[in-house]
Structure 1
Amino acid sequence: MSANSVDVVLVKAGRTKLRYPAEVIRDDGTRMTVRAPWAAVGARDFGFVRFEPGDVFTEHYWRDRWYAVKEVRSGNGALKGWYCDIARPAVATAGELVCEDLDLDLWLSADGATVLRLDEDEFAESGLADRDPEAAENARRALDELELLARDGGFSALLG
């Protein structure tokens, strides 16, 4: 693995959900930005957006924030929007970037008109509030923060 690449490891409920190679675009010690093609097998249609082979994700992970923001573009470069995972702060080690998904998500469409809070039912069913109330509170606060930024046009400043 080269100095400008890393394996992104997405963990959910203590298990590796997905692992894929990504190119490191920027790392300032707090935020690491990577770029990778759609890593799942086949397409995934969420109803509000479709991720498919050829899509390119520019992913922003923070070591001090409870979320990751993924800019999604089609293979021809057209912006689809931003998919945000509520997650524990990312952990980067030699050649690996680990992000633990906490079930909550947010979607912001390319035109900024659609902001969707996602998977709140999964989050409630996960039992995180009972197992780790502090993490659950941080997750809820992070979702509220991202929703406010999305509705107020603050993603440019966040990702700039």
Structure 2
Amino acid sequence: MSENSASAEADVDSKDDVNSKDTATVHVVLRKAGRTKIRYPATLLRDDGRHVVVRAPWAAAGIRDFGFVRFEPGDVFTEHYWRDRWYAVKEVRDGEGGLKGWYCDVTRPAEVDGAGLVVEDLDLDLWVSADRTSILRLDEDEFAESGLAERDPRAATAALGALDELELLARSGELVNRLAH
């Protein structure tokens, strides 16, 4: 469920990475189980060396209705990645600018390389509705089935801790404050 904002296999030009001074475009590369799940261009809003913020439209064909939220053409994702945290947080707005909520992916800390901004999805997710009344832990079954706990117990522990941290931040109302830092 971590597909977020754009078309699946956009062409990548090696100069278009986070370190490029000539462009405000970065390619976000989401990997899962060692393969590229999705790659899409995004506008780089800021990179302070620890926290990277990009914005990208939902560009997948059609609508994805998850039951608790619909991602559709016109939606805009402001995506927050950290090089020292095991998660990414995506603020989701509709085409009119109305807030839908926050989609949080548990990932390994973000890396920047020649491919762009690279994150590895670890299956666990959290959804927080715009009014903050719905906070949903997602894909715990996929995480259990992934075998990460056996292959990389340290990463599995960090992933579960990140999901717990995200839920605590969401329930305390601090998730949005965290995005500013």
TM-score interval for Structure 1 and Structure 2 normalised by the shorter chain: over 0.9
After TM superposition, give the deviation of residue 157 of structure 1 in Å.
1.5
5 Å-filtered alignment, 1:41-52, equals: 41-52=61-72
Aligned to 1:23, the other structure's residue is in SS state strand
After TM superposition, give the deviation of residue 95 of structure 1 in Å.
6.0
| Aligned residue in 1 for 2:55 | 35
Aligned to 1:125, the other structure's residue is in SS state helix
Deviation per residue, 1:98-138 (Å, 9 max, x gap)? 01000000000000111000000000000000000000000
**For this pair of structures, how many residues does the alignment match?**
160
Q: Return the alpha-carbon distance in structure 1 between the equivalents of residues 58 and 179 of structure 2.
A: 20
More strand by share: 1
Change (3 A) 1:91 1:48: same
Q: Return the alpha-carbon distance in structure 2 between the equivalents of residues 41 and 68 of structure 1.
A: 23
5 Å-filtered alignment, 1:1-160, equals: 1=16, 2-94=22-114, 96-160=116-180
- Provide the alpha-carbon RMSD of the alignment: 1.0
Q: Return the alpha-carbon distance in structure 2 between the equivalents of residues 111 and 73 of structure 1.
A: 13
Q: Which runs of 5+ in 2 are unaligned?
A: 1-15, 17-21
Q: Return the alpha-carbon distance in structure 2 between the equivalents of residues 16 and 138 of structure 1.
A: 22
Q: Return the alpha-carbon distance in structure 1 between the equivalents of residues 164 and 144 of structure 2.
A: 16
Letter paired with 1:144:
D
Share of identical aligned residues, percent? 71
Q: With structure 1 as the length reference, what TM-score do the two structures score?
A: 0.97
1:5–1:95 CA contact under 8 A, matched in 2? no
Q: With structure 2 as the length reference, what TM-score do the two structures score?
A: 0.86
Letter paired with 1:145:
E
After TM superposition, give the deviation of residue 155 of structure 1 in Å.
1.4
Letter paired with 1:58:
T
Letter paired with 1:154:
E
Q: Which runs of 5+ in 1 are unaligned?
A: none
Q: Return the alpha-carbon distance in structure 1 between the equivalents of residues 61 and 74 of structure 2.
A: 11
After TM superposition, give the deviation of residue 92 of structure 1 in Å.
1.1
Superposed structure 1 runs of 4+ greater than 6 Å apart: none
